[in-house]
Structure 1
Amino acid sequence: MLHRDKLSPELAANLSEREIEKFDALAEAWWDPDGPFKTVLAFNAVRLQYITDAIDAHLADAVGLGQASENQPLTVLDVGCGAGLLAEPLARQGHRVTAIDASAHNIEVARRHARLSATQVDYRHCLTTALLQERQQYDVVLNTEVVEHVPDPQALLTECGQLLKPGGLLIVATLNRTIKSFFVAIIGAEYVLRALPRGTHDWRAFVSPTAIIQAIAPQGFEINDLTGMSYNPFSRRWRLSHSADVNYLLSARKL
């Protein structure tokens, strides 16, 4: 288990120990297709397709503008990577992926699985502040299901923007703060369907698309797309949706 008093001041600055302890306990089950998080894995498959399509479109635009070659791998940073559910498949697509997480347990689980699948991912137990100190920058930065779990979402989004190269792509996925999201993501997912353990989310920490846009606007981002995700409890399938009232994905280009 990760304790705040064992962290550097930079790592502890924007960190909720309660959130880290919560996900330490869940990390081992994330890769089990028949385990308690099979709904999450189904969710991840749809989310991954959106991200893959967004990256492909971004690369095509860069090639069209003469800023990249068609076979040039992109550098991708996955912030709050968990067990590597996005980092691994993106690495298998040929991208150079760096994946970071505040949970040492999550990083160890991700590294172990990457070794078993012979996938090359640079997993690091750190926060975005450490990469900024190293003056790192990436073609693509992913911030998925993270901002609702940190004390200062705006600070994290600002740091993600700083870690992007000019012309880079930022993809954020999170939960909207609406009445519908309270009933669907909290009451429905945690209490009725029991797809997630009770207490996984705090509705008060959910973040609206407007708040995301306002947080990244000072860095000159151009919004590419805002797409929702919805779950059918009868078919037990996730799909992309026109409604961003609950889960949503937002992609933006740094000018």
Structure 2
Amino acid sequence: MSDATTVTPSNTSGGQTIRPDEAAHFGKLAKDWWDPKGSSAMLHRLNPVRLGFLREAIDLHWGGEIEARRPLAGKSALDVGCGAGLLCEPLARLGADVTGVDAAPENTAAAALHAEGAGLHIRYMAGEIGDLDIGRFDLVTAMEVIEHVADKRAFVAALAARLAPDGLMVLSTPNRTPQSRVLMIGAAEGFGLIPKGTHHWDDFITPEELGELLAEAGLTMGEPRGIAFRPDKGLHLSADLSLNYVVTARPV
């Protein structure tokens, strides 16, 4: 079963990261989140690519067996900006004790309901990540999230504060390039592949900028991998960072 939990706020927040308008935008999408042909269709296409990168990073970080079905058994995982649980559920199936946090209560409610139907025990909660007294985790993920937060420095610091000393962090986000402006906003939102208003190009962050924020938080960023698109391959991992990229980070 899933476990939607209310927790007591702590006093560790260095700054508020939630934008109410962003939370409201994604909250309105909650009912369609698990529909692979609905408003979150692009996330369904993106998720296998992110999971491929994540699985490799997990195996390299903990020295696991590539063939192991549950490489996260005995480990805890936190997914921040979890939406309705598209990443939380695969992490649970990989063996992790999973917590999902999102800014929109509508999303965590939908996530809890879906996890319960799938027979998965996942703790979900809504709120400001820096205000939640939830301890530390072996794995912390934030996929397609940092471009939506109000205070990126405070957000990265809050993620770092939730990471265990020998833990692994994985983040993905659009890059701020002319290509991403044309394709991810102009084309993707213009043709209805992504709901209008999902992205604001000025909020995209470059790998160099993200690396600096991670360093300030006491983390070392790994080599970024691009998430690119080709008509014959669809979304795939690539050396091309111009649209979107995914990175690991570890405590120094």
Distance verdict in 2 for CA 1:252–1:18, change over 3 Å:
same
**What does residue 219 of structure 2 align with?**
221
**What does residue 238 of structure 1 align with?**
235
Deviation at 1:11, TM superposition (A): 11
Structure 2 residues without counterparts, runs of 5 or longer: 1-8, 66-70
CA distance in 2, matches of 1:199, 1:60: 41
- Stretch moving more, 154-163 or 29-38: 29-38
**What does residue 4 of structure 2 align with?**
none
8 A contact 1:139–1:165 mirrored in 2: yes
8 A contact 2:81–2:145 mirrored in 1: yes
CA distance in 2, matches of 1:114, 1:240: 28
Greater relative contact order (CA < 8 Å, ≥ 6 in sequence): 2
**Amino acid in structure 1 at the alignment position of 2:74:** P
TM-score norm. by structure 1 comes to 0.86
CA distance in 2, matches of 1:18, 1:220: 30
**Amino acid in structure 1 at the alignment position of 2:77:** V
CA distance in 2, matches of 1:30, 1:19: 16
Q: Does 1:204 align with 2:205?
A: no
Equivalent runs, 1:42-121 vs 2, <5 Å = 42-60=45-63, 72-121=73-122
CA distance in 2, matches of 1:116, 1:19: 28
Distance verdict in 2 for CA 1:71–1:147, change over 3 Å:
closer
Distance verdict in 2 for CA 1:247–1:59, change over 3 Å:
same
CA distance in 1, matches of 2:168, 2:102: 20
8 A contact 1:11–1:127 mirrored in 2: no
What count of residue pairs does the alignment treat as equivalent?
A: 238
Q: Does 1:125 align with 2:126?
A: yes
Question: Identity, % of aligned pairs?
Answer: 34
CA distance in 1, matches of 2:39, 2:83: 16
Describe the SS at the equivalent of 2:190.
Answer: helix
Q: Does 1:167 align with 2:180?
A: no
**Amino acid in structure 1 at the alignment position of 2:206:** S
Deviation at 1:71, TM superposition (A): 7.6
Describe the SS at the equivalent of 2:205.
Answer: coil
Q: Which runs of 4+ in 1 moved over 6 A?
A: 7-12
Q: What is the CA RMSD across the aligned residues, in angstroms?
A: 2.4
Deviation at 1:94, TM superposition (A): 0.6
Instruction: For residues 55-109 of structure 1, give each alpha carbon's deviation from its aligned partner in whole angstroms, at most 9, with x where no partner exists.
Output: 2221217x9xxxxxx7852211101100100001110111111110111000000
Deviation at 1:225, TM superposition (A): 2.8
8 A contact 2:78–2:100 mirrored in 1: yes
Distance verdict in 2 for CA 1:135–1:121, change over 3 Å:
closer
CA distance in 2, matches of 1:162, 1:11: 11
Match of 1:29 among 28, 32, 43: 32
**Amino acid in structure 1 at the alignment position of 2:167:** G
Which structure shows the higher helix fraction? Answer: 1
Distance verdict in 2 for CA 1:189–1:110, change over 3 Å:
same
Instruction: For residues 21-42 of structure 1, give each alpha carbon's deviation from its aligned partner in whole angstroms, at most 9, with x where no partner exists.
Output: 1111112112112334323201
CA distance in 2, matches of 1:237, 1:71: 28
